[in-house]
Structure 1
Amino acid sequence: MTLTLTGCGSGPAGGDVTLKLIAADYGDRASNSSEHYWDELTRAFEKKNPGIKVDVEVYNWTDVDKKVEELVKAGHAPDLAQAGAYADYAAKGQLYSTDKLLSIPTEADFTPSLAEAGEYERVAYGMPFGASTRRLFYNKKLFDEAGISDPPQSWNDIVKDAELLKEHGVKMPFALPLGPEETQAETLIWMLSGGGGYTDNIGKYTIDSPENVKTFEWLQKDLVGKGLTGTDPAKLNRADAFQGFADGEVGMLNGHPTLMKQAEDNGIDYGTVELPGKNGKAKATMGVADWMMAFKAGGHRKETGKFLDFVYSKKNVLKFSGDYGLLPVTTSASQAMMADDKYAKLHGFLEQLAHAEFYPANKTSWPLVSKTIKAEMGGAVGPEGNPYGVLSDIQNLADAEDNAVR
């Protein structure tokens, strides 16, 4: 799906500048497509800045990164792209650093953990746009029917509760989506809950760490091996797991804020808690950020910066986050959301954002590593899987790719 929006007017005239933006669609149907958000925002911006036009093309998430890549390779880089990755373009010197674009108040307003995640070699190029954290969702009705009074706080609790749910006929006691759609997310969630992660505190890959190996051996033996996932995790995609929860067929799963509306639309009574860890609450949750980046090729630095200052105003960040059930990426909008009871269900997710851990998106090796994780991790926890072997293979690939790009 491609949606093209042209701001007020028919195009550049006289001294006018037209900015080109490629953006991702956060909606799940035509009525809530991001087209509507950008249409309203660009019209408001152009009214205040009559010399600048903004053309927006909205693509679904399956296509947006590929479209940006194609445009850049063809020598037609957009002025702005709002997509999933920025590091490759930063490494090639194709992006403006944020200090060349944003006013000081705007740049200083980014949530610190997100601002840091947008740095390549200690220089900020990626501007966070949409953010989320993960919590464990559970179906209150199914828990009540199975005689479970409290949500799980540890891995042992997960197994115990999943076994009770299974005994009471729940189709999928714990949904474990390690299918190719978003395996890299579910993988990191479990790594963090087991005390590990993708990288250490200096950014070196630790994919095959003892903690990570033990985590996936536990998943293989105690969750998948006991039939508590209801289906082969390698064939279950995140979207299907979410739909299963919304259909009342899933007892519990790891989810992000947009699952709340999906569940509510289907009348599911649910609760959320911090991610259970090996022996209690997980050390951290996973955070995900999508990125805005500005390409140098068009030469519209001043106009692009003016538009971005408008995009990242408190009002606009809060509206976007509220419309799509995401977390604000700025301190001012986060404070406004926390102070508003209208967003009470997002507060638990938002409180976790400051200490969340993110994908190593600042590494140019990450796209290949992520792609490999998507292809391999589901099979690692199956009956014939070898968690240590798979994690070691991915570690070796990650190290080789890091060494190759230096």
Structure 2
Amino acid sequence: MTAVLGGCGLTGGSDEVTLRLVAADYGDSAANSSRKYWDSLVEAYEKDHPGVRVEVSVHSWTEVDRKVKEMVDAGKAPDLAQIGAYADYAKAGELYTASELLSITTQADFLSQLAAAGAVNGTQYGMPFASSTRLLFYNKSLFEQAGITPPETWEELAADAEALKAGGVKYPYALPLGPEEAQAETMQWLLSGGGGYTDTNAGTYGIDSAENVETFDWLKDELVDKELTGPVAPASLNRADAFKAFTDGDVGMLNGHPSLMKAAAAKGVKFGMVPMPGADGPSRISMGVADWMMAFKQNGHAEEIGDFLDFVYDDENVLAFSREYDLLPVTNSVWDTMSSAKEDADLGPFLKALPASELYPVGRTSWAAVSAAVKEKIGKAVAPGGSPSTVLRELQVTAVAQESAE
């Protein structure tokens, strides 16, 4: 979902600066392509800044990160990139820090956990551009037919799944641990069990912690082995397929993000959303996700880049983007606005979960390799004959090795 711009330099008059931005495309059709958002924003900016031109190219999420990497490798880094990861570029010394670019008020307005996730060794390089959280979706019609209520604990989730299965529901709980986005489903479950990918106290990975092993033991024993996760093995079920099954009315419960609301409503599915159940009650921490804006030092223009970014993060622009794409805002001021606005009521549960969310450890350059390993292996933890402790230990070894190689 990003636009690619190409290198940056001087064009036109000798005093005119051209900034090139590569951005991701958050639209699902030509009608709502991010190109339209950026065209409108750039037009407004250039109107008041005649000495600066901003050229934006937008690419799909399947290719935007690769496009930027190719540009950087070719020595033609864009001035700005709005993509999925920043840590490798920060480690290589290729990025400006946020404080070198943004006004104090702009930088201070980022939601604290998003700003923290944009930091490497305590210095912020990644500027959050869009965010999201995850909640447990449930099919209201199927729940009514089964005579059950939304779960607050793992035990209640398993009981609800049993009732849904007894009623013939194809996927009582859809558990997508396939390679598309297994790292997300995994993290949601780890957080609900009081664990996570990292040991926050030690500042290291803690994938094979006792809490995490207990969580996956429960998943395997109480959901998967009891055939409460549907006809497709979790290791083979991808998120997109699970979402489609939900919009087809074949799923009782699954974890989802805001875009699922529109897709389900379009298919006439009546749904509700609640916090992810935990071992002893609703999970206090939800999983958060952010996409990132970063600025490359290669072409200079720090002053112009910073001024443009202050405009990008103006309340009006952040609000317009969030509403256009059903995403959550990255600033406190717009979070306040959306949390109280009637037109954003549908996003209310996600907005409420955002301040207490935890993000992937994206500030670690090792995370890309660790995430890939999770996608490849985690489904084996709940497979017949699988051992959660063994798989989580293998992932921990991979994570430690990647950290050591940094």
Above 0.5 in TM-score? yes
Distance 2:280 2:2 in 1: 46
Q: 2:171 — aligned with what? A: 172
Distance 1:12 1:80 in 2: 20
Distance 1:274 1:2 in 2: 30
**Uncovered stretches (5+) of structure 2, i.e. residues with no partner:** none
Shift in Å, 1:74: 1.0
- 8 Å Cα contact 2:5/2:78 also seen in 1: no
Distance 2:377 2:143 in 1: 32
Q: In the alignment, residue 162 of structure 2 is paired with which amino acid?
A: E
Q: 1:237 — aligned with what? A: 238
Q: 2:220 — aligned with what? A: 220
Q: 1:322 — aligned with what? A: 323
Aligned structure 1 segments of 4 or more residues deviating by more than 6 angstroms = 1-6
Corresponding residue SS for 1:76: coil
- 8 Å Cα contact 2:3/2:24 also seen in 1: no
Cα distance per residue 1:66-115 (max 9 Å; x no partner): 21111111111110111111111111111000111011111111111111
Q: Are 1:146 and 2:141 an aligned pair?
A: no
Q: Are 1:182 and 2:185 an aligned pair?
A: no
Q: 2:20 — aligned with what? A: 20
- 8 Å Cα contact 1:5/1:35 also seen in 2: no
Distance 2:317 2:95 in 1: 24
Compared CA separation, residues 4 and 390, structure 1 to 2 (3 A): closer
- 8 Å Cα contact 1:12/1:53 also seen in 2: no
Shift in Å, 1:30: 2.1
Shift in Å, 1:3: 6.5
Matches within 5 A, 1:281-360: 281-360=282-361
Distance 2:278 2:249 in 1: 25
Q: In the alignment, residue 49 of structure 2 is paired with which amino acid?
A: N
- 8 Å Cα contact 2:2/2:82 also seen in 1: no
- 8 Å Cα contact 1:21/1:81 also seen in 2: yes
Distance 2:331 2:3 in 1: 27
Q: In the alignment, residue 52 of structure 1 is paired with which amino acid?
A: V
Q: Are 1:94 and 2:133 an aligned pair?
A: no
Q: 2:382 — aligned with what? A: 381
Distance 2:385 2:54 in 1: 53
Q: 2:262 — aligned with what? A: 261
- 8 Å Cα contact 1:206/1:395 also seen in 2: yes
Corresponding residue SS for 1:353: helix
Cα distance per residue 1:346-376 (max 9 Å; x no partner): 1211122111111000111111001111111
- 8 Å Cα contact 2:3/2:25 also seen in 1: no
- 8 Å Cα contact 2:17/2:52 also seen in 1: yes
Q: In the alignment, residue 237 of structure 1 is paired with which amino acid?
A: N
- 8 Å Cα contact 1:5/1:39 also seen in 2: no
Corresponding residue SS for 1:27: coil
Distance 2:12 2:158 in 1: 62
Distance 1:351 1:50 in 2: 40
**Uncovered stretches (5+) of structure 1, i.e. residues with no partner:** none
Shift in Å, 1:4: 6.8
Distance 2:128 2:350 in 1: 17
- 8 Å Cα contact 2:3/2:82 also seen in 1: no
Shift in Å, 1:5: 8.2
- 8 Å Cα contact 1:188/1:286 also seen in 2: yes
Q: In the alignment, residue 248 of structure 1 is paired with which amino acid?
A: G
Distance 1:233 1:28 in 2: 27
259-268 or 367-376: which moved more?
259-268
- 8 Å Cα contact 1:137/1:270 also seen in 2: yes
Distance 1:13 1:163 in 2: 70
Q: 1:120 — aligned with what? A: 120
- 8 Å Cα contact 1:117/1:361 also seen in 2: yes
Cα distance per residue 1:125-150 (max 9 Å; x no partner): 000011011110001011111111x2
Q: TM-score, normalised by structure 1?
A: 0.96
Compared CA separation, residues 72 and 282, structure 1 to 2 (3 A): same
- 8 Å Cα contact 2:4/2:81 also seen in 1: no
Shift in Å, 1:226: 1.1
Compared CA separation, residues 5 and 74, structure 1 to 2 (3 A): closer
Q: In the alignment, residue 228 of structure 1 is paired with which amino acid?
A: L
Q: TM-score, normalised by structure 2?
A: 0.96
Shift in Å, 1:220: 1.3
State the identity as a percent: 57
Over aligned residue pairs, what C-alpha RMSD do you find? Answer: 1.6
Corresponding residue SS for 2:136: strand
Shift in Å, 1:27: 1.6
Corresponding residue SS for 1:357: strand
Q: Report how many aligned residue pairs link the two structures.
A: 401
Q: 2:195 — aligned with what? A: 196
Q: 1:106 — aligned with what? A: 106
